[in-house]
Structure formats: structure tokens, C-alpha cells
Amino acid sequence: MTTTAILSDIHGNLAALESVLEDIAGQNVDRIVCLGDIVGYGPHPCACLDKASEFDFCVLGNHDSSALFDPEGFNASAEQAIFWTRAQLESGQGSEEDSRRRLEFLCELPRTVREGDLLFVHGSPRGPTNEYVFPEDTQNTKKMEKLFSLVPHLCFQGHTHVPGIFTSHNSFLRPIEIPTGYAANDPSLRLMINVGSVGQPRDGDSRSCYVIFDGEVVTYRRVEYDVERTVREIEAEAELDNFLGHRLREGR
């Protein structure tokens, strides 16, 4: 059975991505997939895109889309960061051919990938690129019923940077509650699995987060990385708000 490492929300944080890939190398994984937002916020969009282009597949995130088109609903620092990111992709590291290759890679990213009864999206099964599903949405019965009606069995997603598993019984299980993993091999189950964020965790834990799925069990991995390296690299870029680096220290 195929074992898959599922990443999301790298956000140009090369130090985090390198540490996660090093961890994956020791996990007997068959493939790596990414649920979007390779770029945005962080100081190394080009290098992160180059690494992501080697994964088995990636889906389109809202920041990836905004690097190509105009951002919608972004706060001031996020908007400034995405315009800086776009400039880096258009005329950043490497040759014109490198820039063209990166932009073409983003342009060709699908909004969803479906493999049998597994669905891979950035946001949600209803709004694959932009819809947020937060833990508190378990109180919104109508929203959750609609979302689960679109889940074939398992839906892997990111976007909120908050890892955990939504069950069709309107509960949300955080990684700390399932330290040995969550059995997901019952085909009658319907789950939405937020894999967390590699490059900008927001659950109060500064470590990168990703998921390994072996076809039966969903297991969360937390990986320490050199946060201060990324903070320094953001501070060195005048067009990136220092807050985007400082928040990494607390996982917020």
C-alpha cells in the first residue's frame, strides 16, 4: 500500500521545508504531495517552488493563485507580501527560463485531485481554493453537513494552518488527542483532515506540521526547524512585514 506524506502551506519558508523533507526521508514514504500555498508570506518563494515541483502532485492554494492574479481579502501585510512574491517569481532567482518554468508550474496547478475515495484540496471540498474550515465550524451544523456531503471518504485539506481531524459527528480532534494516529480505514467513515502548515503553524506550536497516511492510519508529524533563520531572512526584506517572521516564534 502507498504511504503518502501530505504537506500544506509552505509559504516560502525554506528552512521549515528543508527540515520537513529531512524528516520525511526517514519515514519510509513512497510519495510527497502538497495541498497548496507554496508561496506567500515567506522569504524564499522560488526555492520552495523548485522543491515542490518535484513532488508527486500539488493543488492550488489561494496565495499561489494570488501570486498570478490580484489578491482578494488579504490584509495589508499579506497583500504586500504577495506582490513582493510575484516580483520574485517574475524576475527573481535564476534565468528567464527559470521564471517562466515557475510561473507555468503555478498556472497548471489543479484546484482538486481525486484518487478513488480520497480528495485533496487546499480549502474545503466545497470551495477548494478559498473556503476556510475552522475547528469552531463544528458548531455550524448546516455548513458541516454540506461539506461532508461532498466528502467521498477522506478529504485532506489545509488553508487554516490549524491541524486536526473533523468527523462527520461534528467533532474536531487535535493532533495532541491522537498521538499514535487515527484509524481511517473504515470506508463508511467520512473525515476532513487538516494537515496543518509546514511554513506558518497557527495552533500555538511553532514546529512544522504535516501528515503521513499509509492507507489505514493518519499520523501527524511535528518537526522543529530554525525559526530564527526565517525571522532574520524576513527582516532582511524591506517589503516583508517583520510580523510575518515574529509570529513564527509562537506558532500564531
DSSP output for 127-178: STTT----GGGGG-HHHHHHHHTT-SSEEEE-SS---EEEETTS-EE-GGG-
Residues 6+ apart with CB under 8 A from 176: none
For 171-201, write each residue's pLDDT tens digit: 999 999 999 999 999 999 999 999 999 999 9
For 94-141, write each residue's pLDDT tens digit: 788 899 999 999 999 999 999 999 999 999 999 999 999 999 999 999
Residue 248, CA atoms < 13 Å, CB-side half-sphere: 32
Grid coordinates representing 101? 518554468
DSSP output for 37-96: --SSSSS-HHHHHHHHTTSSEE---HHHHHHHS---S--HHHHHHHHHHHHHHHHSSS-H
